[in-house]
Every structure is written in C-alpha cells, then in structure tokens.
Amino acid sequence: MKAFALALLAFAWPAAAQAPVPQRLSDAQILQALKSADDAEIAAARLALQRAYAQPVSSFADRMIHDHGALDGKIKALSRSLGAGLQESSESRRLDAGGERALAGLRGLAKGPDFDRTYVNEQVEEHRSLLDEIDERLAPAVRNPRVATLVGKARDLIAAHLAAARQLQAGLQGR
C-alpha cells in the first residue's frame, strides 16, 4: 500500500508542480474588475432601453444604468484618491469578454418579448456570476479597507439587482 501511495505521488507531483497558481489580485486590479462588470451592465442596459418591449424591463434597465453608473463613479474616485489607477488582470479581461459575448447575443434580437426574456435571463446569470466572482476572488484579495468597503457595497448592490432580476424573470415567464 505504501509503495502504491509513493507511486501515485510520484506520478501526480509533476502535474501539480506545473499547475498555474492563481495570483492574488491587487486593489487596482479588483477595482478594474468591478469597473469591467459595470461597463458591461451599462452597455446591456442601454441596448435594453432601445429594444425592451415591456415597461418593467425598461425600468429595470434604467435602474442598471443609474446604479452601475453611480458605482462606476465611486470606483474611479476611489482609484484616484488611492493614486493607484486601474489595472487590467485576467479577471477584468474575462469579465470584459463575457460582457461582450452577452451583448453580441442581445444585439441579434429585435425589440419584443424574446428580447425581454433573453435580457432578463442574462441579467440573472450575470449578477449571480458576479456575486460568485466577488465572494471567491475579489473580496478575499482586498488589502485596503476603503477598497473592502466599496467591494462590500458593490456586493450588496449586485445582490439587490439579482433579486430584482429574478422577480422580473418570474413575471415574464407567462408572457
């Protein structure tokens, strides 16, 4: 049995040694990741204002523009006050790419109930995914207490958006 364990360890060791170790994000990278998510939400909401069929979907899009725009302003102001700027990372690039994919899918839809359902379903998925991102990667990496406060406020906002999107999603099911 001991020989088997040693053989297994010898076999697994090279693969484990070559696996990339995720780097801890800097506060500037965390702020950029949040900004990337905000930018994607604002772009999708602007398109939704043009193509939404149901008034509750338009109202939700207005809220996304307002709330994410305000958060974006706070991110920029905090970044300036820290003198750190914003810094791209694999996280922000992944969020940018995901936002572009979602937006491309929405652009392919005409104004109407199908657009509404697709937009709201995307909002549920994107806000749920962003909560996971914050909980698993962004919040644990924060160093500065002011960045931690902003990340916490962003998390609360995104959780409220997820709840609103789920409620809107349920209302659109019968349409």
Is the pLDDT at 8 greater than 60? The verdict is no
Is position 2 within any domain? Answer: no
Tell me what the mean pLDDT of segment 70-97 comes to.
93
Residue 84 confidence (pLDDT): 77
Least confident of 7-21, 65-79, 133-147: 7-21
Cβ proximity of 37 and 95 under 8 Å: yes
What domain count does the chain have?
1
Task: List alpha helices for 2-54, DSSP H.
Answer: 2-18, 27-51
Cα–Cα distance, 126 to 128 (Å, whole number):
5
Cα–Cα distance, 169 to 162 (Å, whole number):
10
Kindly tell me the sign of the dihedral angle through the C-alpha atoms of 143, 145, 151, 155. positive
Is position 13 within any domain? Answer: no
**How buried is residue 148: exposed, middle or buried, by Cβ count under 10 Å (0-12/13-18/19+)?**
middle
Is the pLDDT at 21 greater than 90? The verdict is no
Residues in the chain, overall count = 175
Q: What share of the chain is helix, strand, coil (3-state, %, to 5)?
A: 85, 0, 15
Residue 20 confidence (pLDDT): 40
Residue 19 confidence (pLDDT): 38
Which of 38, 122, 128, 28 minimizes the C-alpha distance to 82?
Answer: 28
Cα–Cα distance, 126 to 165 (Å, whole number):
10
Is position 9 within any domain? Answer: no
Is position 44 within any domain? Answer: yes
Of the ranges 11-25, 72-86, 91-105, 152-166, the best mean pLDDT one: 152-166
pTM for this structure?
0.83
Is position 1 within any domain? Answer: no
Cα–Cα distance, 45 to 65 (Å, whole number):
6
Under the banding of pLDDT at 50, 70 and 90, the label for residue 156 is very high
Is position 43 within any domain? Answer: yes
Structural domain including 74 reads 26-172
Is position 15 within any domain? Answer: no
Is position 4 within any domain? Answer: no
Question: For position 166, which CATH number holds?
Answer: 1.20.1260.10
